Amino acid sequence: MSGAAYLTEYSGLAASLPGLDLPWLQGFRKQALQVFGVSGFPGNREEEWRYTNLSALNKTLFAPSASQIVDEDWLNQYRLDDAASVVLVNGQFSASLSRLQDLSGQVSVSSLKQALQDRPAWLESRLGQAVSSSEHNLVAFNNAWFADGVVIEVAAKQQLEKPLQILQVVTQADALAATRNLFVLDEQAEAEVIETYIGSVDSYFTASVNECLLGNNAGLTLYKVQLEAEKAQHFGGTYVKQSRDSRFNHHNFALGSGLARSDIHSDLDTAAECSLNGLFVASKRQHIDNHTRINHLKPHGISREFYKGVLDNKARGVFQGRVVVAEDAQQTDSEMNNRNLLLSADAEVDTKPQLEIYADDVKCSHGVTVGQLEEKSVFYLQSRGLDEEAARNILTFAFANEMVDKVENAELKALLLKELLERFPAISL
């Protein structure tokens, strides 16, 4: 699939990207550009992209925007008051909108641009360690085009004192918001991070990559709330390297955008634990693709994965979950479950759970369901005085709310409940 227009424009864009004085970063970008230049955006002939058509990315040349104009009243609807926050507007850090006061001296939070100025050698040894350009061409695209992002480092035995919300906001039509985030937790460190993606215009392209490096016995809880605009294109990839005894908990809520793809991949060392929870809700002609991969590389790892999808109208959902147990990863314990609810005869979900097991002393399982609301349950609620629409909304809300109940952050849970109630009204809490 072609990406020729982006390659043509790259030479003009490159002068505005950070790190021009860093040879290693220029080499990093050049190598990514070469990978992307071979075949452009991923196409349907690639097995991991067979259900997702990215041709829309070639119909509009999405371009970076320097605009920092934001309606703060609108933004504050999504800001969590009890969290510190970093705000990226059109892919660029906004110091005036961010709230980073009172963070411990053992916790460092900065923009990627600032980190490239202040400690380039530290970044050089970490950037690209959790994912490379060869993963697929949207990662290569991000490697070449990222303009800014967030760098978090939590020192050994320290804890991020309050949750950190990363608000990625797009306010410019046809903008490209390409961001790169790096989360480094040293031994026994702890952090809770909440990514929130929103846009005040219809058409734009968000391309964001997270790299997470977890030290021995470190713990990271990462939430992703994707509430992009109706015609937005979204790619968000999270790639994790888990050291011995580390814990990674991810909650992925995909409720917005016209086309969205989320990758969550983690490599587990000895006795590491990984938990992936997800909810995707789509209507009209939305297309939401979730791709997960858990690589058990060493013994005694534990992974749990539970994703739910709700599809209405002509929406399409994709779930591709893959667990790989290496030959050395004896006594691995892994469970994967995907449940999907279709609210329309025209809605569709493609689900593909995969287990690849090369060890003989393991406990692994997976399960998938695809179905509709039970008519007897709808009838029961109608018999209690509800009309049919309200009955169906209550049952659908209950199905989706199981994933929201797994959220421990009370303020975030309230935001998610509000979003669900807007989609399935006629319920009062």
Res 309: pLDDT: 98
Helix, strand, or coil (residue 420): helix
* Mean pLDDT in consecutive groups of 10 residues from the start of the chain, 429 residues: 84 91 96 94 90 91 94 97 96 96 85 97 97 94 97 96 96 97 98 98 97 98 97 97 98 98 98 98 97 98 98 98 97 98 97 96 96 95 92 95 97 96 73
Res 429: pLDDT: 45
Strands (DSSP E) contained in 327-415 are: 333-342, 348-357, 363-371
Six token digits for residue 275:
């938990």
Distance CA 307, CA 227 (A): 18
Res 427: pLDDT: 55
Distance CA 388, CA 374 (A): 13
The greatest distance separating any two alpha carbons of the chain, rounded to the nearest whole angstrom, comes to 71
Distance CA 105, CA 53 (A): 45
Chain-centroid distance, C-alpha 188 = 24
**pTM for this one?**
0.96
Distance CA 335, CA 402 (A): 17
N residues, the chain: 429
Strands (DSSP E) contained in 257-393 are: 259-268, 273-282, 287-296, 302-311, 316-325, 333-342, 348-357, 363-371
Six token digits for residue 165:
């919300």
| Residue linked to tokens 């297309």 | 287
Res 305: pLDDT: 98
Res 138: pLDDT: 97
Distance CA 19, CA 377 (A): 59
Distance CA 354, CA 150 (A): 33
DSSP state of 63: B
Nearest to 135 by CA among 243, 268, 295, 25: 295
Calculated CA dihedral for residues 67, 138, 165, 277, nearest 10 degrees: 150
Interacting residues of 38 by C-beta distance below 8 A, sequence separation 6+ = none
Interacting residues of 347 by C-beta distance below 8 A, sequence separation 6+ = 311, 312, 313, 314, 315, 316, 317
